[in-house]
């Protein structure tokens, strides 16, 4: 299990993270891998924005480049934190499963702990899916408005973020059955995941289309990329 007092996944080398992912330990698992993948996508988006700044050819999009460069870096860091949070959420659920169940009082305490842990194990990957939408929205905004020599990286970012979103969404849905069906969160999360994945796929597809066509697009109003969601 992930030890909350141990180093963040961000402090591991890529090699060490992959080795831990391949080990028999339950964490990091699919949720953390999804968050790390989305973090890489966000970093690619920030890279494309950086490669587009201070280029006279793309000067009319300078405000967008500055905005997305900063946001991409924030998203990349936040998604790494979600990788840790996902591991901690799983560890919390595993710990709740080990609580004593004999006796009414112990059984009730265990049931309540399991509900709390399952809720957290659903909330964290849901947040990952939401951040994936921010990543894809940024990639789509840059498509046709950034350094053409790095446009393929936007396509890669969009594909990575879409895959990460689907992975995180699967983790949301797999944990919901552990919650009380009467909990409004179950229905709300199910609908929200469906909405998010649909929009992510739409934006990822649009990013691919613009990149492959080589289309040049008109400038966006500053801040509009953040209003996509």
Using CA atoms, how far apart are residues 70 and 82, in angstroms rounded to an integer?
19
What pTM value is reported for the model? Answer: 0.91
Using CA atoms, how far apart are residues 215 and 210, in angstroms rounded to an integer?
6
pLDDT above 80: residue 225: no
Query: Band of the pLDDT at 222, cuts 50, 70, 90?
Result: low
Sequence ranges of the domains in the chain: 26-221
Alpha carbon 33 to its chain centroid, in Å, reads 10
State the virtual CA torsion across 110, 116, 121, 127 in degrees, nearest 10. Answer: 180
CATH hierarchy code of domain 26-221:
1.20.120.680
pLDDT digits (tens, 9 = 90+) for 43-52: 999 999 999 9
pLDDT digits (tens, 9 = 90+) for 157-166: 999 999 999 9
Using CA atoms, how far apart are residues 39 and 118, in angstroms rounded to an integer?
24
Q: Return the pLDDT at 3.
A: 54
Choice between 100 and 33, residue whose per-residue pLDDT is larger: 33
pLDDT above 80: residue 67: yes
User: Mean pLDDT across the chain, nearest whole number?
Assistant: 92
Using CA atoms, how far apart are residues 28 and 20, in angstroms rounded to an integer?
7
pLDDT above 50: residue 39: yes
pLDDT above 50: residue 5: no
Q: Return the pLDDT at 6.
A: 60
Query: Band of the pLDDT at 30, cuts 50, 70, 90?
Result: very high
pLDDT digits (tens, 9 = 90+) for 101-150: 888 778 888 889 989 999 999 999 999 999 999 999 999 999 999 999 99
Determine the average pLDDT of the residues in 189-214.
98
Q: Which two tokens stand for residue 190?
A: 């199910």
């Amino acid at each position: 299990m992930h030890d909350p007092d141990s180093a963040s996944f961000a402090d591991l080398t890529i090699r060490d993270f992959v080795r831990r992912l391949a080990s028999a330990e339950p964490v990091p698992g699919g949720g953390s891998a999804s968050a790390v993948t989305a973090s890489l996508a966000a970093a690619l988006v920030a890279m494309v924005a950086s490669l587009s700044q201070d280029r006279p050819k793309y000067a009319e999009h300078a405000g967008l480049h500055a905005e997305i460069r900063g946001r991409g870096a924030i998203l990349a860091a936040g998604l790494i934190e979600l990788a840790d949070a996902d591991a901690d959420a799983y560890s919390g659920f595993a710990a709740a499963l080990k609580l004593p169940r004999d006796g009414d009082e112990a059984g009730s305490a265990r049931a309540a702990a399991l509900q709390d842990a399952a809720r957290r194990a659903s909330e964290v990957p849901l947040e990952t899916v939401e951040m994936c939408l921010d990543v894809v929205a940024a990639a789509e905004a840059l498509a046709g408005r950034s350094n053409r020599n790095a446009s393929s990286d936007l396509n890669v970012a969009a594909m990575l973020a879409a895959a990460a979103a689907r992975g995180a969404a699967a983790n949301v849905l797999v944990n919901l059955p552990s919650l009380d069906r009467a909990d409004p969160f179950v229905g709300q999360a199910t609908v929200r995941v469906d909405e998010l994945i649909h929009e992510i796929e739409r934006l990822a597809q649009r990013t691919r289309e613009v990149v492959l066509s080589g289309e040049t697009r008109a400038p966006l109003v500053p801040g509009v990329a953040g209003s996509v969601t």
